[in-house]
Amino acid sequence: MKPYRLLFDHVLTRTDPERAHHTAFRAIRAAEPLTRRRPVASSPVTAMGLAFPNVLGLAAGFDKNAVGIDALAALGFGHVEIGTVTGEAQPGNPRPRLFRLPEDRAVVNRMGFNNDGAEVVARRLAERVRGLDRLDQRTRPVLGVNIGKTKVVPEDDEAAVLADYEKSARLLSPYADYLVVNVSSPNTPGLRNLQAVERLRPLLEHVRRTADAVTEQRVPLLVKIAPDLSDDDVLAVADLAGAIGLDGIIATNTTISREGLRTPGAKVEEIGAGGLSGQPLTERALEVMRLLRGRVGDDLTLIGVGGITTVEDARARLAAGATLLQGYTAFIYEGPLWPRRIVAGVSG
């Protein structure tokens, strides 16, 4: 058994997951001077007019507040997506709100978009820009910024929702290589209702106009969707993306389903609500990717995320039509060498 797997299974699983996350993230940031010295053998990817150092990125949720972008990239990620950032700072849901399901190599979270808010994150990103000259242009990560709805904004008040997303887009677009509208987290009440195309279209168009108004160069815009959408709804989002000139779709977010888990039902019930990520998502996320690529053809960028653990998983997602990949839960379970393994495995 690999050393990290032993550490995780026998030590980290006995530690509060959220506390373990913060401890690990501090260690990653502290180790950046060392990890940056190890180049990652990879094949660059061009998508949305951007040059990605490699195909694998870190999904939103790990670095919510833009505090470790370049340290994470030094581990092997070609792009890092920060957030989800909301217009206003918010503490998120009460703890405990993060749970491991080791038998399933899965995680349940109901974090609730805890973050420092768009104003603070924008200032942090501005500070980062001033220090980017120290990084080699060839290995500098592509930065994605994922924005979502502030919890106190009523989902059924369209003007308020648009204004909330507008604030985040206005403040953060100038620092983003690409921008993501998140309407698929299960942990903000009513958020997933915004995935309906009649709600989604005006939101995406408004974010597009806002981003264009505050940037000199066009920032690619994507939407992140849930695996729990019906096939027809997935296809409807694909059609909408083509109709309004969206640059891409990220598929998929976490699921509210608990079907087929190895974890005892009593434990799952005790954990309660939240989005499930990790290996149980593999099959559905792969299906959604095939549906999307079959509908949009070759023009749209599709980022595959959800249940990608092994090199074989990564290759299967690319074969299904993904342009780029993202991971999160496998990074937690497999450790800091995981990004390099995946990148090496799909670059050969």
Residues flagged as binding site for FMN: 60-64, 84, 146, 182, 224, 252, 278, 307, 328-329
Is the Cα torsion angle 176, 177, 179, 184 positive or negative in sign? negative
- Per DSSP, the three-state class of 210 is helix
Torsion angle of the four alpha carbons 326, 307, 322, 143, in this order, in degrees rounded to the nearest 10: -10
Backbone angles phi, psi at 207, to 5 degrees: -65, -40
Radius of gyration, alpha carbons of the chain: 19
Is the Cα torsion angle 125, 128, 130, 135 positive or negative in sign? negative
Helix (H) or strand (E) holding 56: strand 56-58
Torsion angle of the four alpha carbons 69, 74, 80, 82, in this order, in degrees rounded to the nearest 10: -20
Helix (H) or strand (E) holding 284: helix 282-296
Active site residue 185: yes
Annotated binding site for substrate: 64, 109-113, 182, 187, 253-254
Q: Cα separation of 170 and 213, whole Å?
A: 8
Torsion angle of the four alpha carbons 192, 193, 196, 197, in this order, in degrees rounded to the nearest 10: -90
Q: Which of 168, 173, 185, 277 is catalytic?
A: 185
Torsion angle of the four alpha carbons 168, 170, 174, 180, in this order, in degrees rounded to the nearest 10: 40
Amino acid identity, residue 35? T
Annotated binding site: 60-64, 84, 109-113, 146, 182, 187, 224, 252-254, 278, 307, 328-329
- The backbone region for 301, taken as left when phi is positive above 0, alpha when psi lies in -120 to 50, beta otherwise, is beta
Q: Which positions are annotated as active-site residues?
A: 185
